[in-house]
Amino acid sequence: MTDRITVLDFGSQYSHLICRRIREFSVYADLVPYDIGMDELQRRNPKGIILSGGPSSVSSPDAPIPDGGIFEMGLPLLGICYGHQLIVDRYGGMVKRANREYGSSLLTIDNDADLLHGIGSSVRAWMSHGDEAEQVPGGFDVVGHTESSKAAAIASQTEPVYGIQFHPEVVHTEQGTRILENFVLHICGARQEWTMDKFVDATVARLSRTEGSVLCGVSGGVDSTVAALLIHRAVGDRLQCVFVDNGLLRMGEANEISCMFADNFGVNFAAIDASDSFMEALRGVSDPEVKRKRIGEVFVRVFTEFAKGNGPFRWLAQGTLYPDVIESGVSKGPAAVIKSHHNVGGLPSWLDLEVLEPLRDLYKDEVREVARLLGVPKEIYMRHPFPGPGLAVRIMGEVTPEKLEIARVAGRIVEDELADAGLYNDTWQAYAAVGDDKAVGVVGDERMYGNVVMIRVVDSTDAMTADWSRLPHGLLEKMSNRITNEIDSVTWVTYAISSKPPATIEPQ
Ligand code: XMP
C-alpha cells in the first residue's frame, strides 16, 4: 500500500493545498472530513495526520472537534492554524482570542531540531488567524515565535506532536515546503512513492482486471482524454469512445479530436455529428439556463441512442477528478479506481452501467503530467477549460449560425494572438463573445451597422474567482484589428474588464 498522509479538513480555503504540496514531493496525501470515524481512518493507515486550518474558534460551542481517538493512535500529528489551536486545547494549554493577524510575519526559530530543521534562523510566514495559543500545554516547547504570536510553533517533548500557527502550504511562507517535508519524510518517515509513472502502471494493472466493454464519452478536454487513454492501455479494443459533436465547439476542434483518437491513438472511436439536433433544440431560446437544459437533454438522448445501438456495455468511464470526489464526500483513496454502481450526469437508469473513474485520486496538475506521460499533445493538456455547453454560453440571446461563426472566428483570433504573444499559458480562459448589440462603423466610405464582439481574457487558479487579464494594449489592438478586418459583419470590439465576482467568467 502506498504510504500516505491524511489531512483532516476543518474548512480552511488552503486544505487542498496541503495535499497538493505534499504530493509535489511524491508522497500521497488525502483530504478527509474532520469528523471521519476511527474505523475509516485506520483503514487508510496513514503514516501521519495533519489537522488543517479552519474558520472556527476552538472556544466556540459549535467548534468542529475530531474523534479523540486520533490523539491516541501514536501517529505523528501536525496542527496548522485552527489545527494548532486544537492541539493546544486538547493537551491542556489555553487558546485566547487575539487581534486578527493576517499576512506575512517574521517567524524566529527557537529550536531547529526536527520540524523547523534546515530553514535558517528566521523566515517569513503566512498568518491568517483570530485565535492564538496563550498558554502552551505542559510537556510542549515553543520552537518558533513571531512578534505577536509567542507560541507560533510548538513541539511535544515526548510525542511526535506539533502545532504551527502559520500556513506552510501557501507560497508566501518561505521554506514552507521544507517544513512539510520535515514532518512528512523525517518525522512520519513516509516514502516518496507517489509518482505519475507509478500511478499509470498501477492504474493500468488494476483496470486490466475489469471484464466487459467500456463506453467512454470524450469531449477533447484533458480529463476525458486521459481517462480514455488509460483505459485503452488496459482493455484495448474493449473500450469504445464516443464524441458527440454538438456544433458548439471552437474552430477545427471536432476534427482535431477525431484525428487524435482514431488516427494517433488507434482507439475505437465514433464521432456523432448531432449539431443539427442541438441547433433545432436551441432555436428561439435565449435564456441561458434553458439553453443549458436543452443542450443537456439532447446530449443524453444522443449518447443513450449510441449506447443502446452499440452495446452491450458494462462500464461507463468518466474523467472525475479528486476535488469533485471530495466535494461529493465519497473519497476512497488510491485503491478505489472503481466507484459504486450508480447513475451519473442525468443518464437514464436503464443504461445500468457501472462507473469507472480512473482519475478520481488526481488533481488537475497530476492529470496533465499523466497526459504528458501518455503522449497526449501539449496543445490538448495545456488547453484552457471549455464549458460543456460550448459557445452557446458565449452567445448572448439566441444561438444562430451567424453568431456561432463570429464567436468561432473571433475566438480563434484571440487564442492565436495570445499564444503568439507567449501569454496563453499565463491566462485561465480567453474567448470572444457576441450578442445582438449592433454599433455603427465606417467601412470604406459607407456607414455600417455591425456586430459588437466582446473579448474576455481572465486570470484565475480555480475558476471560483477571476480577474481580467491586464494584456498589453498592443496585443488587444492587434486582436481588435484582426477581428474587424477578418469578419466583415463586426464593427466594434470591446474588452471585458469585470472581475468575478461580481461578474462570472462566461457571459451566459
Ligand atoms: P462562470 O461563468 O460560472 O464559469 O464563472 C466558471 C467556470 O465554469 C465553466 N462553465 C461551465 N462548464 N458547463 C460546464 O461544463 C457549464 O454550463 C458551464 N458554465 C460555466 C466556465 O467556462 C469557467 O471555466
For the Cβ of 385 lying below 6 angstroms from any atom of ligand 1, the answer is: yes
- 324 Cβ closer than 6 Å to some ligand 1 atom: no
Q: Are 228 and 261 in contact (CB under 8 A)?
A: yes
Cα separation, 496 vs 434, in Å, equals: 12
Candidate of 293, 393, 395, 399 to mutate for ligand 1, largest count of ligand atoms within 8 Å of Cβ: 393
> Which atom of ligand 1 lies at the shortest distance from residue 507's CA?
2
Known catalytic residue: 169? yes
The Cα–Cα gap between 261 and 228 comes to 9
Domain 4-187 matching CATH 3.90.550.10: the answer reads no
Higher-pLDDT residue of 361, 482: 482
Report yes or no: 457 and 430 within 8 Å, Cβ to Cβ: yes
Q: Which residues fall within 8 angstroms of residue 225, CB to CB, at 6 or more apart?
A: 218, 260, 319, 371, 376, 380, 381
Residue 213 is predicted with a pLDDT of: 97
| pLDDT confidence tier of residue 337, bands split at 50, 70 and 90 | very low
| Ligand 1 atom having least distance to the Cα of 393 | 19
Which residue, by CA, sits nearest to atom 9 of ligand 1? 387
Q: List pLDDT tens digits, range 26-58.
A: 999 999 999 999 999 999 999 999 999 998 999
166, 152 contact by CB (below 8 A): yes
Pocket flag, ligand 1, residue 441 (CB < 6 Å): no
The domain segmentation of the chain, as residue ranges, is 4-187, 196-381, 400-495
Cβ of residue 377 lying under 6 Å from some atom of ligand 1: no
Residue 238 DSSP one-character state: G
Quote the pLDDT of residue 443.
Answer: 82
Mutation pick for ligand 1 pocket among 244, 321, 431, 506 (CB with most ligand atoms within 8 Å): 506
Query: What is 400-495's CATH number, 3.30.300.30, 3.30.300.10, 3.90.180.10, 3.40.50.2300?
Result: 3.30.300.10
Q: Tell me the three cell numbers of residue 178.
A: 521544507
Contact between 78 and 124 (Cβ < 8 Å): no
CB 422 within 8 A of CB 431: no
> In this structure, how many other beta carbons lie within 10 angstroms of the beta carbon of residue 172?
14
State whether the Cα torsion 261-262-263-266 is positive or negative.
positive
Is residue 325 within 8 A of residue 363, CB to CB? The reply is no
Going by pLDDT thresholds of 50, 70 and 90, the confidence category of residue 148 is confident
> H or E segment at 447?
strand 446-459
Q: Residue 506: CB within 6 Å of ligand 1?
A: yes
Residues 396-445 have pLDDT tens digits of 999 999 999 999 999 999 999 999 999 999 999 999 999 999 999 998 88
C-alpha of residue 378 to centroid of ligand 1, in Å: 22
pTM for this prediction: 0.85
Arithmetic mean of pLDDT, 11-15? 89
CA gap 211, 238 in Å, rounded = 9
Instruction: Please state the rounded mean pLDDT for residues 348-354.
Output: 75
C-alpha to C-alpha distance for 143 and 165, rounded to whole angstroms: 12
387 lines ligand 1 (CB under 6 A): yes
pLDDT-based confidence at residue 477 (cuts at 50, 70, 90): very high
Check 16, 167, 216, 241 and give the catalytic one: 167
Task: Using the structure block, give the residue that is written with the C-alpha cell 460550448.
Answer: 390
Distance 464 CA to ligand 1 centre (A): 10
Give me the pLDDT at residue 311, please: 81
Q: What is the pLDDT of residues 104-116, one digit of tens each?
A: 899 999 999 999 9
Within its chain, how far is the Cα of 505 from the centroid? Answer: 16
pLDDT single digits (tens) 362-389: 999 999 999 999 999 998 999 999 999 9
Could you tell me where the DSSP H helices lie in 363-434?
364-373, 378-381, 401-420
How much is the pLDDT for 137?
Answer: 97
Q: pLDDT band at 349, cuts 50/70/90?
A: low
Asked if residue 329 has pLDDT above 70, the reply is: no
Burial of 430 from C-beta contacts in 10 A (0-12 / 13-18 / 19+): buried
pLDDT at res. 445: 85
390 Cα: distance to centroid of ligand 1 (angstroms): 9
340 pLDDT band (50/70/90 cuts)? very low
More confident residue, 351 or 281: 281
Residue 348 confidence (pLDDT): 60
Letter for the amino acid at 102? Y
363, burial (CB in 10 Å: exposed 0-12, middle 13-18, buried 19+): middle
pLDDT at 158: 97
Among candidate residues 476, 457, 458, the one with its CA nearest the CA of residue 467: 458
**CATH match for 196-381 among 1.10.1060.10, 1.10.10.10, 3.65.10.10, 3.40.50.620:** 3.40.50.620
Question: Hey, CA dihedral for 229, 231, 236, 239, is it positive or negative?
Answer: negative
Residue 338 three-state SS? strand
What confidence score (pLDDT) does residue 103 get? 84
**Residue with the three cell numbers 487558546:** 95
Query: Of the given ranges (129-133, 298-302, 453-457), which has the lowest mean pLDDT?
Result: 129-133
Residue 64 near residue 10, CB atoms below 8 Å: yes
Look at ligand 1, atom 7, and give the residue with the nearest C-alpha. Answer: 463
- Percent of the chain scored above 90 by pLDDT? 83
Distance CA 246, CA 272 (A): 9
How far is CA 303 from each of CA 22, 222, 493, rounded to the nearest angstrom? 39, 20, 38
Is the CB of 503 within 6 Å of ligand 1?
no
Q: Do domains 4-187 and 196-381 have the same CATH topology?
A: yes
User: What rounded mean pLDDT belongs to the chain?
Assistant: 92
pLDDT > 70: what percent of the chain?
A: 95
